């Protein structure tokens, strides 16, 4: 399981999540921050510091939010 960053990050892009992640799985993309689902250890540190509540657990995504997991997977796949 991993966490996923949703649309509210697009307007905020505060970045507190990056500094608290113990495995450095969060990176800034052109539109928002993304969590690498292959590296995330599901610790919840990012969830606790997000000022706009943009982070949710992968299994709590609604069908409309699934696109954000896909965007994160695509973002990290294109970096390889």
pLDDT at 80 over 90: no
Tell me how many domains the chain contains: 1
User: What CATH number has the domain bearing residue 7?
Assistant: 3.30.70.20
Q: Over range 20-24, report the average pLDDT.
A: 97
pLDDT at 72 over 80: yes
- 13-40 as b/e, with b when 16 or more CB fall inside 10 Å? eeebbbeebeeebbeebeebbbbbbeeb
Q: Which two tokens stand for residue 54?
A: 């943009």
SS3 of the chain: helix, strand, coil, percent, to 5: 40, 15, 45
Q: Over range 16-25, report the average pLDDT.
A: 96
Tell me the residue range of the domain where 57 lies.
3-77
Instruction: For the chain, give the number of residues.
Output: 80
């Amino acid at each position: 399981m991993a966490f996923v960053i949703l649309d509210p990050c697009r307007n905020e892009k505060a970045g507190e999540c990056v500094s608290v992640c113990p495995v450095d799985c969060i990176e800034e993309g052109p539109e928002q921050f993304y969590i690498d689902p292959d590296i995330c250890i599901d610790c919840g540190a990012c969830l606790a510091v997000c000022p706009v509540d943009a982070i949710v657990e992968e299994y709590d995504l609604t069908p409309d939010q699934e696109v954000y997991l896909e965007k994160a997977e695509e973002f990290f796949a294109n970096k390889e």
